[in-house]
A and B are shown apart, each in its own frame.
Chain A
Amino acid sequence: MSRTSTRKVVVTGIGPVTPVGIGVEPFWDALVSGRSGVGKLEGFGTEGLASRIAAQVHDFRVDDHIEPVVSRRMERFAQLAVAAAQLAVADAALDLDESDRSRVGVVIGTGIGGVGAFERETSVLLDRGPGRISPHLVGMMIPNMAAGQVAMRLNVTGPNECTVTACAASGHAIARAVDWIRAGRTDVVLAGGAESAITPLTVAGFCNTRALSTRNQDPEAASRPFDIGRDGFVIGEGSTVLVLEDERVARARGARIYAEVAGYGLSADAHHETAPHPEGAGGAQAMRMALDDAGLAPEAVGYINAHGTSTSLGDIAETIAIRSVFGSCTDELAVSSTKSMTGHLLGAAGATEAAATVLAIARGTLPPTINLDDPDPACDLDHIRNRAREARVEAAITNSFGFGGQNASLAIVARA
């Protein structure tokens, strides 16, 4: 299971387009300041919905990122991805004209894809018949179009894919990118996730799974992972893309290196459609595989950016999983869930939290879990409660667990 490639995968650029901020500095400033991106759900009537709150990217102005005549052919998740990819490339100071574009890949995960287009056109079908369906429907709806649009906008022709594993989608995307770079198929991969599924149909569906917080009167306090008063996750939207590079290529161009993606672990719960394995067996297996792949001993890990969605069962299962993997080292390990601030970006969560983890290592500050006023005794961990913690950590784990029981854990390590 250990790595056979000599190629190391480093993070040289970060492009967050999230409810707490767009671009590295606003994003990071919000996370270390403990600012929530959750508010009342806007954009459509919420009457009849149990959950009427969301983490939306209100500051996103698509015209700042993409020509209007082109952006109108894209569903919002793809627009967010294109913006995130452009920000990541700029942050990496990566000059694509100086790069071999055939060796620049793209992999963007999404949980749900262009469901907004599907909903709008379903209404058209019912009201006006098939002849009035937009010829752009298919191109806007299919989940792989975020990765396709990033390639089109940046003119990069390397491997191009989409991972679709619900809330683990962008964890899987980064794992895929690691494979391509280790195998020598690409020099650079724009890897991340994109999601914008805050639509009447999707929110109603999540409401009826009883997965969403109904703390409608206090949106900023609604996402409270590991707190005894938690009552579900807050649906979010956004996109984060990382520039991942073969370390030798990055060093040769003098790139700033944030950290290394040293390994990943993937697993299945093989348990239930939406409920986690009660003892977090799949999550534990993914974390063990990530440590092994990275060549890390459990005691080397100083921080975990938890999946921590703020659901009753999920946070307990993840706690059990962490304890089972880290054993007696668990109490030396700081844990936080940045979903307390960003909400749950579903298919974009893994990459957004990988970005938070990379920055935590690079900058020596661990972002907190906000709203953690009264930790659940069943979630007994060294939580970074409510305020960021200054700490130099050499290695960290970030977890992403999806409906379907699909799990991805990434091991991130410091690079000088």
Chain B
Amino acid sequence: MTSEIEGVIRGLLTEEFRVEEQGIRAEATFKELGLDSLDVVSFAMALEDRLQIEIPEKELDGIETYGDALELLERKVGARA
């Protein structure tokens, strides 16, 4: 499941958000990846669609790195299962 989620996120970042693959590491901040705050909102919307989950805006607070996002999504998808 983890690898599936990671595949979805990486695919979104590289294909839709045009982030360079080699920069995607757990500790990389969205800012370092080139995404601004509106990109993060847009990214969350795309993830909601792809993973059939809901990410309330307050849950995005404190999500600053790729690793943070992965952890949040694993939790949410795990809870759904």
Judge whether B35 and A136 touch: CB under 8 Å: no
A68 contacts B by Cβ under 8 Å? yes
- Report how far A307 CA is from B35 CA in the complex, Å: 42
A139 contacts B by Cβ under 8 Å? yes
Chain A residues in 8 Å Cβ range of B72: none
Shortest Cβ distance from A70 into B: residue = B34
CB proximity of B61 to chain A, nearest CB, Å: 16
A1 contacts B by Cβ under 8 Å? no
A99 contacts B by Cβ under 8 Å? no
Chain A residues in 8 Å Cβ range of B42: 134-136
Interface residues on A, range: 10 to 19
Judge whether A132 and B45 touch: CB under 8 Å: yes
* Chain B binding surface SS class: loop
CB proximity of B4 to chain A, nearest CB, Å: 23
Shortest Cβ distance from A134 into B: residue = B42
Within 8 A of A (CB), among B1-25: 16-20
CB proximity of A68 to chain B, nearest CB, Å: 3
A73 contacts B by Cβ under 8 Å? yes
Chain B residues in 8 Å Cβ range of A134: 42
Chain B residues in 8 Å Cβ range of A71: 18
Within 8 A of B (CB), among A48-82: 67-73
B79 contacts A by Cβ under 8 Å? no
Of A72, A135, A136, the contact of B18 (CB 8 Å cutoff): A72
Chain B residues in 8 Å Cβ range of A135: 38, 41-42
Shortest Cβ distance from A68 into B: residue = B18
Chain B residues in 8 Å Cβ range of A67: 34
B39 contacts A by Cβ under 8 Å? yes
Chain A residues in 8 Å Cβ range of B19: 69
Shortest Cβ distance from A139 into B: residue = B38
Chain A residues in 8 Å Cβ range of B17: 69, 72
Chain B residues in 8 Å Cβ range of A69: 17-20, 33-35
Within 8 A of B (CB), among A114-137: 132, 134-136
Chain A residues in 8 Å Cβ range of B34: 67, 69-70
Chain A residues in 8 Å Cβ range of B71: none
Chain A residues in 8 Å Cβ range of B27: none
CB proximity of A174 to chain B, nearest CB, Å: 32
CB proximity of B78 to chain A, nearest CB, Å: 25
Chain A residues in 8 Å Cβ range of B45: 132
Q: Return 5 A-B CB contacts under 8 Å, by A number.
A: A69-B18, A69-B34, A72-B18, A134-B42, A135-B41
Contacts from A to B (Cβ < 8 Å): 67-73, 132, 134-136, 139
